[in-house]
Amino acid sequence: DAPSQTLAEAAPFPIGFAVSPASIKSNAPYRQTVIQEATSITADVAMKPSRISPQKGIYNVDVADQLIEFARSQKKRVHGHTLVWYIDTSPNWLKQIRDSTDLESTLQTYIQTVGTHFKGKVASWDVVNEAVDNNRGAIRKDSLNTVGKTLFNVGKILGDDYVARMFQYAHKADPNARLFYNDYGQETRPAKLSAIVNMANDFKRRGIPIHGLGLQMHISIDTPNEGIENAIRKSAETGLLIHISELDIAMNPGKKKDFAETPELLEKQYQKYKFVVSTYKKIVPASQQFGITLWGVDDGTSWIPGFCQCLDAALPFDANFGKKRAYQGFLDGL
Ligand code: XIL
């Protein structure tokens, strides 16, 4: 057999994986897969605020720095994820702040400190993650997040335009970093998609430093192709960089207890990977292709089973780092 190309070799744009620094260190096939297949890496949790600043005024950057050193030694790009998030990865001390002046200056200080520390080491940041409501097509004012009995929501405390200000703070901290707004569900939620696109266009008009949109794309084999294509097209029409930032394709969207992989499911997964990748390649102009990042390396360490509380296998590599039909689907889409 002719040696087959890796994703990194075959792709005309960066290929990323979300990785855990601990697995990079201790899991040799995991590390090897990242080294061979990726050109970009995102930390799955190591650069989130709860990890970087578990206590007010304390900054733990060692784990992230080690990951960045690994990336540097392997000549991989690093995408920072994430500076501000309304929900679970904000540290508890931050979620207790209710005063708007206090919260604004706390987030400003956090972004300034973290952005400056990683300046020149990360190519880009997800500045704000998941700020737009799923159904209303507006900045989130609800909250899924409680500390004790109190609700925490950045949008409610700071007002809709906080997203723009976070971009300004991030740009001040690291003027060369490409700054992204990142969110999920654009492929099945039209109101959310338009709200994001409108916000991006509004930022551009006002000179707010936004450079890209991240579409997480945690989808399933049943997610309609039209919705995927529409989300990519409308996002690309902003003229911004487009990052498929957290791709995985679940095979058990019904969270069935008796789930078993079948050739039919694996074939549907093949088709969906191929569709996403080929659509991205076709629709997004080359100058706007920031790349496609898979959310995890292999089915054995994927976040999906923990999240859905079910069995699933949403990635192109199986738990033994074997290439699935989904891997071939990714390649065939390129
Ligand atoms: C997930 C991680 O993969 C998990 O390990 C963690 O427990 C929760 O967060 N959207 C995002 C990512 O933007 O940060 C999430 O990552 C997956 C959903």
Per-residue three-class SS string for the chain: CCCCCCHHHHCCCCEEEEECHHHHHHCHHHHHHHHHHCCEEEECCCCCHHHHCCCCCCCCCHHHHHHHHHHHHCCCEEEEEEEEECCCCCCHHHHCCCCHHHHHHHHHHHHHHHHHHCCCCCCEEEEEECCECCCCCCECCCCCCEECCEECCHHHHHCCCHHHHHHHHHHHHCCCCEEEEEECCCCCCHHHHHHHHHHHHHHHHHCCCCCEEEECCEEECCCCHHHHHHHHHHHHCCCCEEEEEEEEEECCCCCCCCCCCCHHHHHHHHHHHHHHHHHHHHHCCHHHEEEEEECCCCCCCCCHHHHHCCCCCCCCECCCCCECHHHHHHHHHC
Give residue 259's pLDDT band: very low, low, confident or very high (50, 70, 90). confident
Which of 20, 303, 304 has most ligand 1 atoms within 8 Å of its beta carbon, as the pocket-test mutant?
303
38 contacts 330 by C-beta, under 8 angstroms: no
Nearest CA to ligand 1 atom 15: 44
Residues annotated as part of the active site: 246
Mean pLDDT calculated for residue range 145-152: 56
1 — pLDDT class (breaks 50, 70, 90): low
- What is the predicted pLDDT for the residue at 256? 86
Complex ipTM, two decimals? 0.99
* Distance in Å, CA 314 to ligand 1 centroid: 14
Pocket test for ligand 1, best of 307, 308, 309, 315 (most atoms within 8 A of CB): 307
Tell which residue, 152, 209, 153, 180, has the closest CA to residue 81: 180
Considering only CA atoms, which residue is closest to atom 2 of ligand 1?
44
Q: What per-residue confidence (pLDDT) applies to 143? A: 60
- CA 48 to ligand 1: nearest atom: 14
Q: Compute, in angstroms, the gap from residue 81 CA to the centroid of ligand 1.
A: 10
pLDDT-based confidence at residue 41 (cuts at 50, 70, 90): very high
The binding-site residues of ligand 1, defined as CB within 6 angstroms of any ligand atom, are 44-45, 129, 216, 246, 303
287-327 tens-digit pLDDT: 999 999 999 999 999 999 999 999 999 999 999 999 999 99
* Ligand 1 centroid from CA 1, angstroms: 38
Q: What average pLDDT does range 63-71 have in this prediction?
A: 98
296: alpha, beta or left? (left if phi > 0; alpha if psi -120 to 50):
left
- AA letter at 31: R
pLDDT tens per residue across span 88-116: 567 889 988 889 999 999 999 999 999 99
pTM of this structure? 0.97
pLDDT for position 151:
62
Return the residue whose CA atom lies nearest to atom 12 of ligand 1: 44
CATH of domain 7-333: 3.20.20.80
Distance 45 CA to ligand 1 centre (A): 7
- Which residue, chain included where needed, has tokens 């991989």? 76
Q: Report pLDDT digits (tens) over 161-209.
A: 999 999 999 999 999 999 999 999 999 999 999 999 999 999 999 999 9
pLDDT of res. 91: 86
Confidence of residue 145 (pLDDT cuts 50, 70, 90): low
Q: Which residue has better confidence, 175 or 144?
A: 175
pLDDT attached to residue 148: 53
